[in-house]
Amino acid sequence: MEKKTNTLLILALIVGLAFHGSAIFFTLESTYDALIHLFFADHYANSWFDPWEYRWYTGFTVQSYPPLVHQLIGILSYIGGLKFGMYTVALIAIVLFITGAYRYTLLMTGSRRIAGYGAVMAVFSSTFVETLHIFGQLPSISALSILLHSMTEIYLWIKTGKTRYFITSATMLAVTVTSHHVTPLFGMVFFIAPLMGMAVMDASREKVASYKALTFKVFWGTTLQHFWRIAKFGGTAIFLLVFCIFPYWYNSKRNPITQVAIPHGSRDNFLEITSSGLVFFIIPWGVFLFILPYFFYRYFSKRYVFFGLSFGLLTILGTGGTTPIPRMMLGEMAFNILTLDRFTLWATIMALPIFAEFAYRMVEGDLKALIQKRFGGVYHRVLGGLIAGGMLFMVLFTMTLGYFRPSQPAKIKMLPIVNFLGADSHDSWRYLPLGFGDQMAWLSAQTGAMTVDGNYHSARRLPELTTRAIERIENSKFRGVEGIGSLQQFLTVPEKYNLKYIFSNDKFYDPILYYCGWQRLQQLENGIMVWEKLNVAPIPQIMPKQDVPTIMKIMWGIIPLSTVLIAIFVNIQMIWVRLLKSRKVPVHSFMKLELPYNKFSSKLLTFSHWWALLVLICMGYGMYIFYVKNVTQLSPNNVVESYYDALDFKEFSRAHSYIDPEQNIDIAQYMLEVSVTDGILSSYAKLDSLGIEIYDKTENSAKAKVSTRWITPLENVFNNDHHELIKRKNKWYIKSLKVDNDIPPDQLFTSNGTTYYNHGRRKITTQETYHEDVLKQPVLEILSAKLVKYKGQYSIIGELQNVDNTPADIVIKATLYNDDNKELANYNAKHQIKHKLMPKETTTFKINFEGIAWSSTKDTLPPTFDPDQFTPISFEEQPTKFNLQSAGNTANTDLYKHVALQDLVYTEQGFNGVLFNSGVQEVTIPQLIISYYDAEGKLLWVDHKFITEGVRIQRKQFFNYKPLDLDSLAVVSSSLENCFVNGSPNKAIADKLFPNRKLTHGMKQAQPFKGKGYEYIKFEINSYIGNPK
């Protein structure tokens, strides 16, 4: 028989390359993983044999991920750059996947026609589209494709026992191993084991006349005959898995993953969290969902029974946390480490041949005949159209998901950042990107500068990161308390990590940066704001490194590409022959097993219809629920919810549509009123939860008490609002709250002030900064310092003054000791201090000793976000002494001091005060620092309060503060003995610069107030300006 080229396969390849090949240029760079692989590739391109990578996580080893794909991209990058390498590898992966699906289908069905269908289905399979275009899992796709290719060879080895097939299968398996470790590991269980079963089954079938005669006894006998082949292959596979990526296993043993599990959507209950259900269940399965009964029917036939078991298992495991079964099967540990979506991926890939078979039977086989007979030709065409249309819809939907629901921030131009890091030795410090998404990997790949963050969470090393379920600090706002908590530790003690620069692409983080003592340096031309921290030492020249034996480096550098070369060498003849049909090859035995497909089970058809109906009903119900939840003015509850939702997303015209129309507030007026409010709630908060309590409800009116919980970078904000609701023409409306009519007296204000500028280096030099260009550190004086214990927690409180003549940026670090002078803990002042002081300005401060949260992973993690959740350090011994190290550096920004305390009244609800902004900058977030004093004017405690609304220029803002009860406060130690300023003893400074200090001034500025445990209280104001002008 003359062998013809399979036109369907050629068609699939052309369409596949044209479609995926052009689409990747628009999707791949905004996928979750692709840029991470690019970063790894950049590592190999720069240092092929040295596995240590300094740029992420204060150093990690790339031997924590199989290297083949990265090394391929790295090699190709020498031709046309990293991205060229990535796209080339992606194109190769596409070809490998389509041909792999073809060969796998051919093996399973024995029909070249159906295999052609399989190749076409592979192109349009939504699971492949998702894995490539949304997840960007290049290594996983490559490994899976090679695994599919190797299946034919493995089958033939088991069946025929020819050494040729043993070699081809082993070489291909080696390539799989070096490109992805999990694929061959689970592939052995889920793909190769059933394949071997099928091979033995086929061998048994040849011995008997029919499948009916194939009893277990026959099968067992054949298994024993084939045992050595199976064992030989199994042993080889295990050897390859261990040997080819031995450094990986060595590293896993040496640096076991001890971190807290990071939540992953694939472990969610898909019925509860529908977005996860969509991404990890609906999309990968797609149209396959309707045809599930056929898959099970076919896979549980005798020949495929092992595949059936495997398929069933994969399907169940892929359901994640929807049912308790996967958790029970995998065990708690594995369940929390594995991402379960890969099971669904494998299940859908496994189903491909059967789907191809179904398509064949539907288009030109017995199913077509059956349907036409039972329901008529029109129905067949409509049904076929629906299935094809459904498939196409799923592909388009998946492809455009990233467009309509972007999972990544908009593409950032990296060049300005790369230039910034390269200039003026900025790369002598570490940097931290914020709000970059997975693009941070692309930034890292382009610069030699180091970051404390990273994008490969398995390699995290700092306990601040591994003890928390966050993948990156960069997107910590999405990771709740752990995220912000981790970020705050890095921001408060940046000198520990030599962290000096932050690139912020998300203004959400601005307030916390400011209150942790960071300052804005400049805005780059791509809109990224650069923040810097003063008083941070550069990275030391010699950095710690975890070295591995040279043999490991050589293995890691040489084996992966060698496996590819060997595989090509071994298989080249076969590829050549198969491609060009240059000579006839004997038909493989599995080709004889093609089924006649002459009688489609009528019962199955009926059952499939009912099943499809069920699926449709479920989907319809889901859509209905979605609709009801989103009708906005159906009930008082709905209108309040919608109103707050609109406010949260800043869709003010939508919010305006819920306002009572009879109040006659036109949209322009409403927008104006909204636009003039500023503050942490309107600019930096995300609505976390909404509690609506409807009371006094009548037919046409109701009152609502709305308790809101807002997430801000600083702390949680709880708000209670009362609204009046009204029903007009069957629609509920909300009554607008009255606005403050306050107007300032003047139209134009003038303001004078001293401004500062620091040249940096006056001389342009690449050497160290000249001695005369280094500014003198402003001198500070610590006026008081105490170690106190309040509510079971130790804190250092105190007061300090900038006694110099230039403005100072303050960094203050406290260390606690016990009686034996053993160091117990150290920490920096976070936000209970004014970090920027004008000459002669004073500030009170408080240092809390924060431990690394959940350092024992057994502690239960709080379920929701709580940024001000604080993990006090646990002391094994009693701290009795302390050491304070403060440092001043010349400050030239954030020196706005024009907020006055205009009124203060004590009522039963606490202090009601009025702030007045007498300057010309809008204060976005005012902070009150409240200090408590005893009768002698000695400092007892420091507290703070963020005011949720800003203070506009020349206007007032009201605040309420409830004073504390301090009866339980104990002063452990009060001493200025071990206090240092810029490295000099505090006492010497005090004696020299302030020999005649007037000690009564503190008392004269404080409010006498008889509270529980104190006599005086003082309010200081620290102002964060969101948009300095």
What CA–CA distances, in Å, run from 104 to 96, 118, 152, 154? 12, 9, 7, 11
Query: Among the candidate windows 151-159, 174-182, 681-689, 896-904, which touches other proteins by CB under 8 A?
Result: 896-904
Contact indicator for 338, 330 with CB cutoff of 8 Å: yes
Q: How far is the CB of 940 from other proteins (least distance, A)?
A: 18
**Does residue 740 touch other proteins according to CB under 8 A?**
yes
Q: How far is the CB of 663 from other proteins (least distance, A)?
A: 11
Q: Can you read off the two tokens belonging to residue 750?
A: 């003038």
**Does residue 211 touch other proteins according to CB under 8 A?**
no
Query: Among the candidate windows 56-64, 83-91, 466-474, 894-902, which touches other proteins by CB under 8 A?
Result: 894-902
Q: How far is the CB of 929 from other proteins (least distance, A)?
A: 13
Task: Report how far residue 429's alpha carbon sits from residue 179's, in angstroms, rounded to the nearest whole number.
Answer: 34
Q: What is the distance of C-alpha 271 from the center of its chain?
A: 22
Query: Among the candidate windows 214-222, 391-399, 562-570, 840-848, which touches other proteins by CB under 8 A?
Result: 840-848
Q: How far is the CB of 744 from other proteins (least distance, A)?
A: 8
Amino acid at position 54, single letter: Y
**Does residue 842 touch other proteins according to CB under 8 A?**
yes
- Report strand pairing: 881-890 vs 979-981: parallel
Q: How far is the CB of 1004 from other proteins (least distance, A)?
A: 7
Question: According to CB under 8 A, which one of 702, 734, 811, 942 is a site residue for other proteins?
Answer: 702
List own/partner pairs for 550-553 with CB under 8 A and 24 or more apart: 552/51, 552/63, 552/246, 552/247, 552/250, 553/49, 553/50, 553/51, 553/247
> Which lies closer to other proteins via its Cβ, residue 138 or residue 951?
951
**Does residue 909 touch other proteins according to CB under 8 A?**
no
> Which lies closer to other proteins via its Cβ, residue 202 or residue 809?
809
Using only the alpha carbons of the chain, give its radius of gyration.
Answer: 34
> Which lies closer to other proteins via its Cβ, residue 202 or residue 1015?
1015
Query: Among the candidate windows 583-591, 736-744, 815-823, 848-856, which touches other proteins by CB under 8 A?
Result: 736-744
Task: Report how far residue 147's alpha carbon sits from residue 184's, in angstroms, rounded to the nearest whole number.
Answer: 8
Beta strands in 38-159, from DSSP E residues, in sequence order:
52-53, 60-61
Task: Report how far residue 890's alpha carbon sits from residue 283's, in angstroms, rounded to the nearest whole number.
Answer: 56
> Which lies closer to other proteins via its Cβ, residue 508 or residue 643?
643
Question: According to CB under 8 A, which one of 903, 935, 960, 968 is a site residue for other proteins?
Answer: 903
Q: What is the CA angle 150-155-160, rounded to 5?
A: 125
Q: Which residue has the tokens 């593409």?
A: 411
Task: Report how far residue 557's alpha carbon sits from residue 548's, in angstroms, rounded to the nearest whole number.
Answer: 13
Q: Is 456 helix (H, G, I), strand (E, B) or coil?
A: coil
Q: Which residue has the tokens 């949720």?
A: 948
> Which lies closer to other proteins via its Cβ, residue 228 or residue 994?
994
Interface positions, 766-805, toward other proteins (CB under 8 A)? 771-772, 775-776, 783, 801, 803-805
**Does residue 841 touch other proteins according to CB under 8 A?**
yes
**Does residue 750 touch other proteins according to CB under 8 A?**
no
**Does residue 997 touch other proteins according to CB under 8 A?**
yes
| Size of the residue set binding other proteins (CB under 8 A) | 66
State the virtual CA torsion across 606, 611, 615, 616 in degrees, nearest 10: 20
**Does residue 953 touch other proteins according to CB under 8 A?**
no
Question: According to CB under 8 A, which one of 550, 741, 766, 821 is a site residue for other proteins?
Answer: 741
Q: How many CB atoms lie within 10 A of CB 168?
A: 23
What CA–CA distances, in Å, run from 721 to 322, 665, 703, 951, 959? 37, 20, 11, 20, 16
- Report strand pairing: 430-434 vs 499-504: parallel
Q: How far is the CB of 774 from other proteins (least distance, A)?
A: 8
**Does residue 993 touch other proteins according to CB under 8 A?**
yes
**Does residue 731 touch other proteins according to CB under 8 A?**
no
Question: According to CB under 8 A, which one of 232, 945, 956, 987 is a site residue for other proteins?
Answer: 956
Question: According to CB under 8 A, which one of 108, 287, 1006, 1025 is a site residue for other proteins?
Answer: 1006
Task: Report how far residue 533's alpha carbon sits from residue 513's, in angstroms, rounded to the nearest whole number.
Answer: 9
**Does residue 840 touch other proteins according to CB under 8 A?**
yes
Task: Report how far residue 436's alpha carbon sits from residue 449's, in angstroms, rounded to the nearest whole number.
Answer: 16
Task: Report how far residue 101's alpha carbon sits from residue 108's, in angstroms, rounded to the nearest whole number.
Answer: 10
**Does residue 904 touch other proteins according to CB under 8 A?**
yes
**Does residue 897 touch other proteins according to CB under 8 A?**
yes
> Which lies closer to other proteins via its Cβ, residue 46 or residue 758?
758
State the virtual CA torsion across 333, 335, 338, 340 in degrees, nearest 10: 180
**Does residue 967 touch other proteins according to CB under 8 A?**
no
**Does residue 738 touch other proteins according to CB under 8 A?**
yes
Q: Which residue has the tokens 């709000």?
A: 435
Q: How far is the CB of 943 from other proteins (least distance, A)?
A: 17
Q: Which residues bind other proteins (CB under 8 A)?
A: 696, 698, 700-703, 724, 726, 738, 740-746, 752-754, 756, 771-772, 775-776, 783, 801, 803-807, 837-842, 895, 897-906, 916, 918, 954, 956, 992-994, 996-999, 1001-1002, 1004-1008
